[in-house]
Amino acid sequence: MSPSPKNNPEHTMEILKTIHKIMQDKKCEEIAILNLESVHSYLSFFLICTVNSAVQANAVAREIKKALKSFKLPHKETDKTGTSASSGWTLLDYGEFIVHIMTPEKREYYNLDRLWRDAERIELS
């Protein structure tokens, strides 16, 4: 099993960079990485991006799932709860890393960036 991100900052940064690169490569917009460790006791990171279609959302989710297999992170299947590309919000739950892939409408409506505005924003190039 891989080390916990809280115990290994280099491992954490590698995971964040991997997800961020996939989002960039798949032409996601408004990519945000929020460090929730100082705001919430059991959440570590939200990675949020905007997509323009269900097809794009599925492609992003598929690539992230494929890339994160090598990190051996715990993954909770969320499709059973109704969070899918067709709803406008795809959620990938990897324990300490939660990935939100949203359409512009869902992103504006739920406004996670504002809800978690106290969280530290991480900028990756």
46-60 confidence digits (pLDDT tens): 999 999 999 999 999
Using 50, 70 and 90 to split pLDDT, how confident is the model at 6?
low
For residue 56, tell me if it sits in a domain: yes
Sheet holding 97-102, edge to edge: 89-94, 97-102, 45-50, 29-35, 120-122
105: part of which helix (H) or strand (E)? helix 104-110
53 vs 77: CA distance, rounded Å: 21
Residue 9 resides in a domain: no
Report if residue 11 sits inside a domain: no
Domain that holds residue 48: 27-120
Whether residue 113 is contained in a domain is answered as yes
Q: What is the pLDDT of residue 121?
A: 95
For residue 123, count other CB atoms closer than 10 A to its CB: 8
CATH number at residue 111: 3.30.460.10
pLDDT at 16 over 70: yes
pLDDT at 3: 47
Instruction: Look at residue 98 and tell me if it is in a domain.
Output: yes
Output the pLDDT for position 1: 44
pLDDT digits (tens, 9 = 90+) for 72-105: 888 876 544 444 667 899 999 998 899 999 999 9
In-domain check, residue 50: yes
Confirm whether 21 is domain-assigned: no
Has residue 117 got a pLDDT over 90? yes
The total of structural domains in the chain comes to 1
DSSP letter at 76?
B
Where does residue 64 rank: exposed (0-12), middle (13-18), buried (19+ CB within 10 A)?
buried
Give the pLDDT confidence score for residue 38 in this predicted structure.
84
62, pLDDT greater than 70: yes
Q: Does residue 2 lie within any of the structural domains?
A: no
Task: Give CA–CA dist 40/43, Å, rounded.
Answer: 6
> Residue 80 phi/psi, 5° resolution?
-70, -20
CA distance linking residue 79 with residue 19, whole number of Å = 19
90 or 40, greater pLDDT: 90
